[in-house]
Structure 1
Amino acid sequence: MKIRMKVTLSGTRNGQKWPAAGETADLPTAEAAHLVASGIAEEADEDVTEDVDEDRTADQDDTETATAPPADEDTRAPLTTETATPLVPGEKRAPRAPRKPRAAGDSKE
């Protein structure tokens, strides 16, 4: 079944890169139907020739890259024994949520 890709998928299929958005491919009917049903591809006319770029190979690096935003290091002090809130022995903790009552016949044993 011939399909036309609506989006560009990363990775490979059978060792070859997926066709880019707008390109066509001939896939087994079940696989093509799955891509069409998920909105990733649409059925293409049968007389359309394969538009896959033969120069694209799996070893070419098409990886998307982005730089992380700069960290704002001045907003928090590093957590150390000097900056951490100390635990005071004997200090009471916040109250717990009430426990659920046991069902009839349940025992703690």
Structure 2
Amino acid sequence: MVDLSFSIYDLEYFLLIFVRVSCFVYIAPYFGMNDTPARIRIGISFFTAWLLYETLTPVDAVVVDTVMEYAVIVMKEAIAGLLIGFGANICMAVVNFAGSIADMETGLSMATLLDPATKETTS
């Protein structure tokens, strides 16, 4: 039988997951670019958070006494999501830099073009 009950604790837990995932998507490569519409980013964040909510089971219920405690937890989740996205962005920059170095070594750097999406030169 499917349990369709949804308490306020479940909502708080879902919102924490949603904040972390949406901060990751905001800064991550390919999703955080200017040519990705905001609705697409929000949809990806929502459905990924929903899948993670259905998959993960919390060890403890998120029990807070005040709004300020919950706001601090939300800020911690936002910072964690931004740091994960920033790490992914750094990894992508390293791969792009290694590709440009290999490009210069093989002599293909003469065929670089300007990418209008990122306003960077690409090969």
Superposition TM-score, scaled by structure 1 size: 0.26
Greater helix share, 1 or 2? 2
Greater strand share, 1 or 2? 1
Q: Which has the higher contact order (CA 8 A, sep 6+)?
A: 2
Question: Is the radius of gyration larger for structure 1 or structure 2?
Answer: 1
